[in-house]
Amino acid sequence: MANSACTARAFVRLQSARLPLSAVEGEASCGSQRSPGKVCRVGAVQMQCPLLCVRKRSFTGLKSPRGPLSTASATASGSEKLWIFDTTLRDGEQSPGATLTADEKVEIGKQLARLGVDICEAGFPIASQGDFDAVKRVALTAGTLTACRPNMQTMRIAGLARANKKDIARCHEAVHHAPLHRIHTFLASSDIHLEHKLNITRAQCLETASKMVRHRSASRPPCAGLLSRPSFSAHPQVAFAKTLVDDIEFSPEDAGRSDPDFLIELCTAVIEAGATTINLPDTVGYTLPAEYGSLFAYLIEKTPTGGNGVVWSTHCHNDLGLATANSLAAVQQGARQVEVTLNSLGERAGNTSLEEVVMALRTRPQHFPVTCEIDTKQIMRTSRWWPRTPGTDQRSHSGLSTIEPR
């Protein structure tokens, strides 16, 4: 743990000094032949050779689900975009004592926009009138900012909704004020949740999820194999969510403990119905990195999408201390959106840390064929924004957020 913190601290200092990344990964600028344990100096930073001053290695032999990678792969023009979905204002607010006022949500939302977050989940509009008003204000303010944004494009504002018409309508009413907006709807998929929380069968789960998302148009043909199931035969019914917005995210709650083959059925149904993002939550922080990554590889390979550009997303909790590791393992297996919070805030042990994911991608790019547009110079300022708000738990679950850039 100490080595990890030391590595991160050194990297932030090197960044602030504008030293090349080669000083962190590969042959350091001191250029000498080094032996383990020898102390060397790069810029103003002293470090042990096993941590940072390692000899340059070739990564061309490493394999990924998308083919061999090289050290330059993450900076090449062919890298895929990784969408950063921040849920600090929704899931992060479930931290003990972390209830925010509408004004506080607006200020944090604005700073997330400056940071370069792609999608901000601003709340759960059906939960209360206060939450609805806050989401609406975030959409009208942070959701319209273009200054300092990548490509001058506004941040997309999302709201959470259960898979029923009342929730979805309320969510749309709050988020549609932002130029870019999304409805994020969810329904449990694990047998333990279906049986003991919802009291419904798998068939009822499939039908409910599909109806809440369904959209039929000539430009979006049904997925191969789906029409063979009578319960999902083509019909002229236009389902609710897709009549309101084109951007729909669907989460099979507790996906980490769900039957993978049932998840294929469920994901196929909602993709055919019009979902554009499929999020696989490790709701109770149960899975291990290899297990979670394999789930993505399996579903991406086996789920027919009908040629639609579906984005696969992670959402992890830190109950076993593996939220960031699980998210990164999924990215290596094809996930192209990560759901994160500032300082790893969230219910119980917290969520995946925004700063940990971003800095892992920045310091070890040869392992991830993706890029993100987060302004790392804004991480410290954004991380400290939360403790400024009165009445909140000021502890950070993330070590990186405590690093002082120099």
DSSP annotation of 256 reads G
For 182-230, write each residue's pLDDT tens digit. Answer: 999 999 887 787 788 878 787 887 787 777 776 433 334 434 433 333 3
Tokens of 266: 């469920």
398 DSSP 8-state letter: -
Strands, DSSP E only, in 127-270? 156-162, 181-188, 248-253
d(CA 323, CA 289): 9
| Beta strand spans in 104-204 (E) | 119-123, 156-162, 181-188
CA neighbor of 365 nearest in space, from 331, 335, 399, 341: 331
Residue with tokens 């393992």: 329
Q: What is the b/e burial string over 127-150, where b = at least 16 CB atoms within 10 angstroms of the residue's CB?
A: eeeebbebbbbbbebbbebeeebe
Q: Which of 313, 373, 271, 335 is nearest to 66 (CA)?
A: 335
Mean pLDDT of the chain: 76
Helix (H) or strand (E) holding 286: none
Domains of the chain: 2-48 (no CATH), 73-388 (3.20.20.70)
Q: What is the pLDDT along the chain (406 residues), one digit of tens a residue?
A: 444 444 444 433 334 333 333 333 333 333 333 343 433 333 333 333 333 332 233 323 333 333 333 333 334 445 899 999 999 999 998 887 778 899 999 999 999 999 999 999 999 999 999 999 999 999 999 999 998 898 899 999 999 999 889 999 999 999 999 999 999 999 988 778 778 887 878 788 778 777 777 643 333 443 443 333 333 322 222 257 888 999 999 999 989 998 999 999 999 988 988 899 999 999 999 999 999 999 999 999 999 886 568 999 999 999 999 999 999 999 999 999 999 999 999 999 999 999 999 999 999 999 999 999 999 999 998 988 764 544 544 445 555 654 544 4
- Helices marked H in 116-164: 129-140
88: nearest Cα among 353, 394, 326 = 353
Whether the CB-CB separation of 281 and 330 falls below 8 Å is answered with no
